[in-house]
Chain A
Amino acid sequence: MNAMPQAIQAAPLLRVSGLTKWYGQIIGCRDVAFELRPGEVLGIVGESGSGKTTLLNCISGRLPPSSGSVEFDTARFGLADIYSLNEPDRRRMQREEWGFVHQNPRDGLRMRASGGANVAEPLMNLGGRHYGKMRQATIDWLERVELDTRRIDHKPRQFSGGMQQRIQVARNLIHGPRLVFMDEPTGGLDVSVQARLLDLLRELVRDLDLAVIIVTHDMAVARLMADRLMVMKGGLVVETGLTDQVLDDPQHPYSQLLVSSVLQI
């Protein structure tokens, strides 16, 4: 057994250990631990209220956990606990190395600025001061997410839900992040739009060799996107493993229920 897969040998990009979040007496998530390698896609599945979003918010530096640590392989400080970095450093690291795709594009886009400005904003945040170059990069990215580049100056509300989601994807990838968080990126879209967006996301993730943590309650999305799955229930991780393994041969009774309740057509 010396032919270990490349992904397992690489140093971890993200290491989460003992992560627990209490909301007063109520448990958000408890004792979560995992590692993520560069280029790996981790799916977090579970029913509503199972702690998926709490976990994602804790990992992405938006919600300090009650205990436990989240270490990320930062470009400037090496592997460091993100909550022990001071606030400007953490914000800078989030800006430079991470992306966050919200379920609702309204949360992730500036609705008052045009689509093009939304896509270009990360470049300006990282010090881009040349309009022509940023404009060109924006156009390139709109093409990449298959949007009509003639609509670059339209406001987000003039786009459909699926198009808004594409703008959000472009905005979160234009600055070349290493880790992207996605919270139900295809939620609220109809099935055909969802399929096209998933296809696009899969292609981009592979081309850019991105590490992704994707939260979803949709088994089909998990099957298509994720290399590895974590199944959550009541704030606990009840099962973890390769996606095909978990979906084809679920061990935990809850995972079995989850897989068997997928609608078949």
Chain B
Amino acid sequence: MNAGSNAPERYYNYAYLDEQTKRMIRRAILKALAIPGYQVPFGSREMPVPYGWGTGGIQLTAALIGPDDVYKCIDQGADDTTNAVSIRRFFAQVADVAVTEDTGEATIIQTRHRIPEKPLKAGQVLVFQVPQPEPLRGLEPRETETRAMHAYEEYGLQYVSLYESVATYGRIASTVGYPTMIDERYLMNPSPIPKFDNPKLDDNDAILLFGAGREKRIYAVPPNTRVRSLDFEDHPFETQTWDDACALCGAGDSYLDEVVLDDAGQRMFVCSDSHYCAERRAAGHAGPMAGHQLATPETEPAQ
């Protein structure tokens, strides 16, 4: 057993990273906040998880977290998936922080692929795990060229991908990682969040930080910044919609996951934000399949 982080004898530095690294990351964060949407290079470290599992987000969190923080970690909106549980336990252990599933209570929320349904407040920090920070990479493989394009605000190329989408599907069909313009200056890839969440980026009260560990980039959207999703004049931006409401809590305004129940075609739609759904159920809301076993997942064993 490791000793607690405040114990006289510790086997690792507080919050896992050494102080110099955390300092370097904090400086990158400050620079990112000063230039909203600009990708700041940083010296990404080896983390105890593989690339693609959230090394960028973990490093951001490690640089920010303090003993009085309350930490929440979600993966695809859910608090109870393997990745989320592992990272939450990691910080509970190495940073001695309180952990929670309550969006309103948390001070740092690390997320993969979702923004919580409950509106964030000033003082909260949302940390995104980003696999590919460069929105133009799909069409322009040269880093030197994409850097020049950002520097000179040459963003026509991004519209080529939207054009292709409309030409193929008759509408802008991309649903995740939908490109956004930050404060009408920098083009930003909002990590693979569904475009359903794009409007939540705009004028958000919380600090939004994005970390890409493998690609070694940090970028940020400061509170109350204008974030516009790109579109065509004759094909305006729109979010996904569902015909169903959440089968468990009846919510009609949340992002829904489709769950296949058997091999006879039975399926249900449930909120992807597990805490939002649980809170609604506790408040007495019920969907058509309320009481289904999915509503009572196994509780996390005591640590």
Instruction: Find B154's partner among A91, A110, A116, A120 (CB 8 Å cutoff).
Output: A91
Give the nearest-CB partner of A110 in chain B: B139
Query: Is there contact, CB below 8 Å, between B139 and A112?
Result: yes
Cα distance A132–B154 in the bound complex, in angstroms: 22
The reply to whether A110 and B160 form a contact with Cβ atoms under 8 Å apart is yes
Contact A121 B152 (CB under 8 A): no
Residues of A within 8 A of B233 (CB): 129-131
**B168 sits at the interface (CB 8 A):** yes
- CB contact between B156 and one of A121, A152, A153 (< 8 Å): that residue: A121
Whether A87 contacts B139 in the complex (CB less than 8 A), given A110-B160, A114-B164, A114-B167, comes out as no
Q: Is the CB of A87 within 8 A of B157?
A: no
| Interface residue? B23 (CB, 8 A) | no
Chain B residues closer than 8 Å to A134, beta-carbon distance = 163
Q: Are A91 and B152 in contact (CB under 8 A)?
A: yes
> Once the chains are docked, how many angstroms separate the CA of A129 from the CA of B151?
21
Flag if A117 contacts B232 (CB, 8 Å): no
Given A88-B152, A91-B154, decide whether A120 and B163 contact each other with a Cβ distance below 8 A: yes
Q: Given the known inter-chain contacts A113-B160, A117-B160, A130-B234, please indicate yes or no for A87 contacting B167, CB distance below 8 A.
A: no
Please tell me the number of chain A residues within 8 Å of chain B, measured between CB atoms.
27
Interface residues of A in 150-164 (CB under 8 A from B): 152-153
Tell me if B235 counts as interface (CB < 8 A to partner A): yes
Bound-state CA distance A110–B162 (Å) is 15
Interface of B is mostly: helix
Give the interface size class of chain B: 20 to 34
Nearest residue, chain B, Cβ from A88: B152
Do the beta carbons of A113 and B235 come within 8 Å of each other? no
Closest to A122 in B: B156
User: Inside 8 A of B164's CB, which chain A residues have their CB?
Assistant: 113-114, 117
Interface membership of B159, Cβ < 8 A: yes
How far apart are B84's CB and chain A's nearest CB, in angstroms? 34
Judge if A245 is at the interface, Cβ distance under 8 Å. no
In the complex, what residue of chain A is closest to B163 when comparing beta carbons? A117
Q: How far is the CA of A87 from the CA of B166 in the complex (A)?
A: 33
Known contacts A87-B152, A91-B152, A131-B234: A116-B159 contact under CB 8 Å: no
In whole angstroms, what is the CA distance A39 to B160 when docked?
Answer: 31
Q: Would you call A63 an interface residue if the criterion is a C-beta within 8 Å of the partner chain's C-beta atoms?
A: no
Asked if B283 is at the interface (CB within 8 A of a chain A CB), the reply is: no
> Cβ of B156 and Cβ of A126 under 8 Å apart?
yes
- B282 sits at the interface (CB 8 A): no
Return A158 CB to nearest CB of chain B, in Å: 14
For A110, what are the chain B residues with a Cβ–Cβ distance below 8 Å? 139, 160
Complex CA distance for A117 and B167, rounded to whole angstroms:
9
- B302 contacts partner chain A, Cβ-Cβ < 8 Å: no
Q: Which of B154-179 contact A (CB under 8 A)?
A: 154, 156-157, 159-164, 166-168
Residue B264, interface by CB 8 Å: no
Tell me which residues across on chain A come within 8 A of B151, comparing CB atoms: 88
B234 touches A113 (CB 8 A): no
Asked whether B154 lies within 8 Å of A125 as measured between CB atoms, the reply is: yes
The answer, yes or no, to whether B7 is at the interface (CB within 8 Å) is: no
Task: Annotate B86-97 by CB proximity to A: 1 below 8 A, 0 otherwise.
Answer: 000000000000
Q: How far is the CB of B135 from chain A (nearest CB, A)?
A: 15
Given that A110-B139, A113-B139, A131-B235 are contacting pairs, would A152 and B160 also be in contact in the complex, using a CB cutoff of 8 Å? no
Query: In this complex, which of A131, A134, A153 has the most chain B Cβ atoms within 10 angstroms of its Cβ?
Result: A131
How many Å lie between the Cα of A125 and that of B156 in the bound state? Answer: 4
Residues of A with C-beta under 8 A to B139? 110, 112-113
A132 to B234 alpha-carbon distance, docked (Å): 7
Does A11 sit within 8 A of B, measured CB to CB? no
Q: Which residues of B contact A91 (CB under 8 A)?
A: 148, 152, 154
Interchain CB contact under 8 A, A135 and B154: no
A224 to chain B, nearest CB (A): 34
A121 to B148, Cβ gap below 8 A? no
Q: How far is A129 from B232 in the complex, measured between Cα atoms in Å?
A: 5
Q: How far is the CA of A88 from the CA of B149 in the complex (A)?
A: 9
Q: Which single member of B138, B160, B167 contacts A121 (CB below 8 Å)?
A: B160
Query: Apart from A91-B154, A113-B139, A117-B160, what are 12 other A-B pairs with CB-CB below 8 Å?
Result: A87-B152, A88-B152, A110-B160, A112-B139, A116-B167, A117-B164, A117-B167, A121-B160, A125-B154, A132-B234, A135-B167, A153-B168
Query: What are 12 sample pairs from A and B whose C-beta atoms fall under 8 A apart?
Result: A87-B152, A91-B154, A110-B139, A113-B160, A114-B164, A117-B167, A122-B156, A124-B157, A128-B159, A130-B233, A130-B234, A131-B235
Instruction: Give the A-binding residues of B (Cβ under 8 A).
Output: 138-139, 148, 151-152, 154, 156-157, 159-164, 166-168, 232-235
Instruction: Name the 6 nearest CB pairs between A and B, nearest first.
Output: A125-B156, A88-B152, A124-B156, A124-B159, A131-B232, A130-B233
